[in-house]
Chain A
Amino acid sequence: MKDLTYKLLKSFAASFVVLLLLSAALFWGRFYCDGYLYGRMAQESTYKGATISPSGILPAEIENDPNVVIASEFQAYIELDSVVIATRLGIFDYFKQRMPEGRFMMSFFEYVNMGETVLHFDKNSGLIFYESVKVKDTDDNKIERQKIKLFAGPGGVSEKPAKELGRFYSPVRMQKEPIIYHSRAEMQTEYDRAVPITYDKKLRRFFKIDFDKRDVTKGPEIDKSINFRPVQIGRLRKGEFLSGLWWNEPKIEIKEEDKEAEKGYWTRHKPIEIRFHTPAGPYVPVLDERGLIFLVDRETLEIAGEAGYLPAPMSFFGSGNSPRPKDLLAFEIEPVAIMPDGEYLGMGVAALSRDGALMTVAVFDKEGKLIEKGYTGVDGHLYMGYTTDGTVAYHRLKIKTDSSKAVFWGLPGSPLATVLRYLLENLQGPALNIATFFTADSFEASSGHRALFLVTNSFIGMKGRQAGVSFSWKFFSGLLLIAPSIILSILLAWSVKKDALTRGLSKKEKLCWIAGVLCFGLAGYISYRLCHQAADLVNCRNCGMSRRVDMDVCHRCGSRWLVPELEDPVWRVRDS
């Protein structure tokens, strides 16, 4: 029994060591392939952006103004170079999440106000700690710095933590909204307007904390029957290094006579006179756990309505289900309002797929209705052709390829890297590949890029997330996708079976190892080899096959060792 326990311990130990080291080695292989694929796309594609123009959110009188020569537009792009691919590694994510604005620090809101303001949530007291340096110009042209420390709870703001302030339990961080200014005075006004708003998941209401006025405004309690679980407030975005979304206002042509006066513009066009505001005017956008975007009134803190949702980006196998924030590698929401009235016009929403290959852009009007949707793509490559007079000419393909497919097949050299990546994925073993198929949707998108065992960004993972097809079709086509892995495992298991017979392993042990190799493929096979070093074998006198020297009976024919017949010696020792 003790021997069996030790044997099991050694087998499991060797298997884990091999699995981990092999998975790490395969990770770097896949990482190299990804770097190559995305790097090529960044270098050689005509571009990997998506534009929706005209944006469709502006009133007709602005968009159809005869002076407008370039319509308003939403522009999204993906950062695809190899350096950006490296930022998906866990080490970058670790530090990013632990910086003051990161997930672990709960800093709600941070902005520079001629000094520095820091806000963070103290879990122990349940209060939001505010620290700011106010800078004043004195009469004698000197700068005076005043440090302010305040504490805020649902009950108010105070200079010291007090019981009367109450406590927040699980506040949602507000992210700094972009501030647009054209002068120093305007910038100051904008910063002063920026008041943190938070939502407490337990108290189920919004709070506006005005540290200048030392006042906390409570919003109405949200009914428990409403399924509302905000995850972000203010500037709604994720993975800002990986992608971007811009709103461009309509542009008019600069007249010849005005060119001298418009030196600041390096193109022939300039924005129209009407000014826009990229925060949502009187509303603050709120993102829900389900991927729905709501607008909340900045004054009353009531939910004004649904403003849109995160669009589903396509993967290699077509569109997936409606994404939640955790299903996307990056997203960004750009609401637009007219200044100075602050009338909300609508918003653009960009969502980057898990694998980072395709970005979907959607535009919603002020009622929250989808106006238009677009995808990032590649315009095609140069190809050689012949003109009618027989001379060689280079043309660019006009067909736009969706970037989720173009990244794998559309560029020179990429098919080879794609095949290599596919084969490396198949070395993970059928059990891990099948587990990936079933859990492809369960993990946070960025964690898929640093996965060792369940590679959710693999082709089988993409298949697992495919929407709009029956499960049986998805499963069997998934099995077909991991056919190389299954075939390799069968071959290795057959080799183990043959070897186990030579070594004289017991039936149970043989079956266990065959099952292990069938499940884990190469990792199982290497573990088997590690646990079974070469045995000493001799020829069996009965069956003529190789048999082990350390066993009583031949493991092939069951015969015992042949003992030479003992005969009585002819001599005897006698007493004389």
Chain B
Amino acid sequence: MYTLIKREIEDHIVYFLGALILSLFFTGLIIARGFGGEPGEILGVILAALGITFLAIATLGACALGTSQMHTDRNKKISAFLSTLPVSRNQIFAARVISGLLALLVLLAAPATAVETFLSTIRQEQPIYQYFTIEIFSAIYLVGLGIYCTGLMCGFSSSKIVPTLGSLVLSVVLMTIILIKGPGIETSIILLIYVSASLAYTWRKFNTTPFI
């Protein structure tokens, strides 16, 4: 399993490096804005963190990674080849999903830590909602995961239009849920169900589609 995950990361190293660079860049931005700006700019910091990371997820990360993983598999028959080895399709799928989870973690962990550190320093002096970081970043993480799963779902197709255009359109629609509902617990539950549902659907499709 570990080898499979490692292989997935190696195959899509560009995405991981991109996530890491962006993560460091956003963390720097948050630190500069938070610790260097006016002390009252809490909302600005949170909004900046939300907007920027959100945009990053939307534009570069999750959707492309998911689509690329599945589309390459479908067209280059990677899982067909791997199945000749003592590896099951379930393991291949699990390794793929774990690598996606890790990519998102790479992107969001550092900015989330920076925001929480900043808020904890000013929380002593001002009443600040204590679950800001958890709620906002868990919602962003789940949106990112949802978009990644949409990429997986649309990517498992032999045509080129469905994986590229389809996943992009659906990702944009999914992304707007955070605007519609706000990043609260309700949104997290909806997104969690979406992630589970899209993973279940893709898993069944991936497992039952013959190697043709």
Contacts and interface: CB of A to CB of B under 8 A. Distances in A.
A479 interface: no
Contact of B194 (A10, A20, A92): A20
Nearest to A452: B180
Contact of B132 (A27, A93, A98): A98
A92 B177 CA distance: 13
Nearest to A28: B176
B197 A94 contact: no
B40 to A, nearest CB: 10
Nearest to B178: A91
Interface string A89-104: 1111111001110101
A149 to B, nearest CB: 11
A90 B178 CA distance: 8
Contacts of A118: 126-127
B57 to A, nearest CB: 16
Contact of A90 (B43, B47, B129, B181): B181
B170 interface: yes
A320 B178 CA distance: 32
Nearest to A20: B194
Given A16-B193, A98-B129, A452-B181, A24 B176 contact: yes
A423 interface: no
Given A21-B173, A120-B127, A10 B201 contact: yes
Contacts of A450: 180-182
A382 interface: no
Nearest to A101: B127
Contact of B197 (A16, A89, A91, A107): A16
B102 interface: no
Contacts of B178: 91
Given A24-B173, A25-B173, A89 B179 contact: yes
B190 interface: yes
Interface in A1-35: 6, 9-10, 12-14, 16-17, 20-21, 24-25, 27-28
B170 A21 contact: yes
B174 A24 contact: yes
A304 interface: no
Given A24-B174, A24-B177, A98-B132, A91 B182 contact: yes
B158 to A, nearest CB: 12
Interface string A492-534: 0000000000000000000000000000000000000010000
Given A27-B180, A93-B182, A94-B184, A21 B174 contact: yes
A315 to B, nearest CB: 23
Interface residues of B, number: 32
Given A9-B200, A107-B127, A16 B182 contact: no
A107 B129 CA distance: 11
B7 interface: no
Main secondary structure of the interface of A (DSSP, over half): helix
Nearest to A449: B180
A28 B174 CA distance: 12
A102 B184 CA distance: 14
A13 B197 contact: yes
A94 B129 CA distance: 11
Contacts of A100: 126-127
B180 A90 contact: yes
B190 A20 contact: yes
B204 interface: yes
A11 to B, nearest CB: 9
B187 interface: yes
Given A6-B204, A100-B127, A120-B127, A17 B194 contact: yes
Nearest to A7: B204
Nearest to B179: A91
A100 B126 CA distance: 9
Given A12-B197, A98-B129, A452-B190, 15 more contacts: A6-B204, A13-B204, A24-B177, A89-B179, A90-B180, A90-B181, A91-B183, A94-B184, A95-B46, A104-B129, A105-B127, A118-B126, A450-B181, A450-B182, A452-B181
12 contacts: A13-B197, A24-B176, A89-B180, A90-B181, A90-B187, A91-B178, A95-B43, A95-B46, A95-B182, A100-B127, A107-B127, A452-B177
